[in-house]
Amino acid sequence: MLKRVVVVTGIPGTGKTTVCNVAVKLAEQTGKKINVVNYGSIMVEISQKRDKSLHRDALRKSGLAFQRNLQARAARIISKKAVAVNGDLIVDTHMSIKTASGYWAGLPFHVLQLLNPDMFVLVEAEPHEILSRRHKDKSRKRDKVLEDEIMEEILFSRLMAAACAVLTGASIKMVDNPTGKQAEAAREVLKLLV
């Protein structure tokens, strides 16, 4: 049985987690088992466990070193999971993370070496749809500046995905997820796992 690691990414508002969950359900309907793990949730779990037994040494480390360590631990847990489960494993995570201090790679090289992914999926959507999903409750206007910012986020995800593809040899598939078409998007992901 093939045990591929498929990394599914998307900026906030693209609906990547929904696509992942719909893909699992659709696969089940055809008697196929697909597993999903959320990278961020694993990091939170580790972080909480660590809080109880936090060493002073860890505290002295810079923020980046701490983050790297946490990312690496999560990657090791996920790669063990990939071996343990029956069937393919979808890793629900981010390719690029926009913060006040800039763009961060969700999958830096040291993580890629541990995860050993077979393919990358970039769930994408139109900027105006992403904005509307991010600000569901607010009737805010969607201006050009905000849409340009979203386009920049999408661009950086693609840029980092290209670097990930060169580093690992894994493929990059962009999957469009327009409103109301989650099932179609999920089926596109499943087609990669035939």
Which spans of this chain sit near a copy of itself (rule: CB under 8 A)?
Answer: 2, 4, 62, 64, 67-68, 71, 96, 99-105, 107-110, 112, 118-121, 155-156, 158-160, 162-174, 191-192
- Between CA 78 and CA 43 the distance in angstroms is 10
CB of 138 to a copy of itself, least distance (A): 26
CB of 82 to a copy of itself, least distance (A): 13
State the Cα angle at 130 between 47 and 148, rounded to 5°: 105
126 vs 133, beta carbon nearer a copy of itself: 126
CB of 28 to a copy of itself, least distance (A): 22
- Between CA 77 and CA 74 the distance in angstroms is 5
CB of 161 to a copy of itself, least distance (A): 8
- Between CA 8 and CA 53 the distance in angstroms is 32
61 vs 140, beta carbon nearer a copy of itself: 61
136 vs 194, beta carbon nearer a copy of itself: 194
Nearest by Cα to 34 from 80, 88, 92, 115: 88
Helix (H, G, I), strand (E, B) or coil at 40: helix
- Between CA 182 and CA 157 the distance in angstroms is 20
84 vs 167, beta carbon nearer a copy of itself: 167
